[in-house]
Amino acid sequence: MTRLFGTDGVRGKANQQLTATLALKLGAAAAHVLTHKRRTAKRRPVAVVGRDPRVSGEMLAAALSAGMASQGVDVLRVGVLPTPAVAYLTDAYGADMGVMISASHNPMPDNGIKFFSAGGRKLPDELEDEIEQTLSSLTETGPTGHGIGRVIEEAHDAEERYLKHLMRAVPTSLAGIKVVVDCANGAAFNAAPQAYSMAGAEVVAIHNEPNAYNINDNCGSTHIEQIKQAVVEHGADIGLAHDGDADRCLAVDANGNEVDGDQIMAILAKGMQENGELRKNTLVATVMSNLGLKLAMEEAGITLRATQVGDRYVLADMNEGGYSLGGEQSGHIIISDFATTGDGVLTGLMLMARMAETQSSIAELASAMKVLPQVLINVPVSNKQLVMDDPQVKASIAEAEAELGSTGRVLLRPSGTEELFRVMVEAADKETAQRIAGRLAAIVTEV
């Protein structure tokens, strides 16, 4: 049986794989699993629900809210806000669970449901499995009368609370820094420009007019060419690109050159090390991170730990080891002193604070890490497990690894959110990386 939950919640095309009926049942099952131990005679459980602006979010929010209310949970709707805001507010409101409705960087027709436990933390696999099991066994009837949960349509101070929280995290004024922010017509269309302006930066916002249909449409962190051009045109010091739910942040320097998640982690890790904030002198990343990050951390005397792909696995390792910084090459950066999940707006603030503290450009800070040539090819597949088990694919990987030796790396893995197989190759030069990645992608395509 295929697992319902992927690497980041439940995703699918809205009204096909991810239907209102499924959302209703998921809301009820999650409410049962995440709140049954926290119920008291004097207090009903509370759930915080937020979403990104895509059109299907309205439908799914209504269905999820109904499912949770049917289990005796009061639902606090916070409207369109970034994923990290919903995680923060779950804790700030003292709620028993949180739900974010978003497919992150995926195109508009898709949507997703992410759950948080009390404290605003993503769920471990065991809790997700329990929700799946409960989904099929939960009866359709629940409490009646006074036992039914209430739905509060808007928490009017939600965004203000989140922005105040972000301001408490910024160590210095950002006055004198001009930033272009690409909001991806997504959940941070208002929060990101406001936060950067409140911290003192001069802000130029682009793609900050969501209309329910244009989220991630040729903009945001998956289309970084847009902000590269805008930074140069506006003569800005830095560009920051978010994805649809703003748990990611990628950067661009004044010349329009990309600064990816690995480079951002290197910048923040060295800054936190200097300020005595990098607990256990350790950074947590994933197996997808560039070898250049490992070399830069070794030079700085910082331990680099690698987890499987997915920010919740980074988080799990951080929580278990008590580490303060982790993230992914894609721009999910987790600063655990201020957030329980990746927060793209917080990342942008901390990057600009580092620029202000050191009086350095983002290009100068990023130069501390040399990015080794890396080629990533996304191959559409119909059966990811079939590819993983194919003997020819395994033999081809072994052959590529032998050819690269210690000068490179090969990683093939299924996407956790899309019907894709990701082929990644690092090598001493780009031509070699492209050649080997192309060869492996062709083999995957044939399976």
Evaluate whether 14 touches 52 at the Cβ level (below 8 Å): no
Q: Say if residues 103 and 248 touch (Cβ distance below 8 Å).
A: no
**Tokens of residue 340, six digits:** 């329980």
- SS3 for 6? strand
Side-chain-side CA neighbours of residue 411 (13 Å): 20
pLDDT score, position 1: 55
pLDDT tens-digit profile of 16-51?
999 999 999 999 999 999 998 777 667 889 999 999
Residues annotated in a binding site for Mg(2+): 104, 243, 245, 247
pTM of the full predicted structure? 0.89
The string of pLDDT tens digits covering residues 187-201 is 999 999 999 999 999
> Active site includes 104?
yes
Q: At what angle do helices 344-358 and 191-198 cross, to 10 degrees?
A: 20
Please give the CATH superfamily to which domain 165-366 belongs. Alpha-D-Glucose-1,6-Bisphosphate, subunit A, domain 3 (3.40.120.10)
Under CATH, to which class is 10-157 assigned? alpha beta
Exposed e or buried b per residue across 269-298, where buried means at least 16 C-beta atoms within 10 angstroms of its C-beta = bbbbbeeeebeeebbbbbebbbbbbbebbe
Q: Where in the chain is the domain with CATH 3.40.120.10?
A: 10-157, 165-366
Catalytic residue (choose from 56, 65, 102, 104)? 104
φ/ψ of residue 433, rounded to 5: -60, -45
Residue ranges of the chain that CATH labels 3.30.310.50: 374-446
What pLDDT digit, counting tens, does each position of 333-372 carry?
Answer: 999 999 999 999 999 999 999 999 999 999 999 999 988 8
pLDDT tens-place string over residues 372-394: 898 999 999 888 888 988 999 99
Banded model confidence at residue 133, pLDDT cuts 50, 70, 90: very high
Higher pLDDT, 138 or 303: 303
96: Cα within 13 Å, side-chain hemisphere: 21
Q: Which CATH class is domain 374-446?
A: alpha beta
Question: What CA–CA distance (Å, rounded) separates 242 from 153?
Answer: 27
Q: Would you list which residues are annotated within the binding site? A: 104, 243, 245, 247
**By CB neighbour count within 10 A (0-12 exposed, 13-18 middle, 19+ buried), where does 211 fall?**
exposed
pLDDT value of residue 41: 65
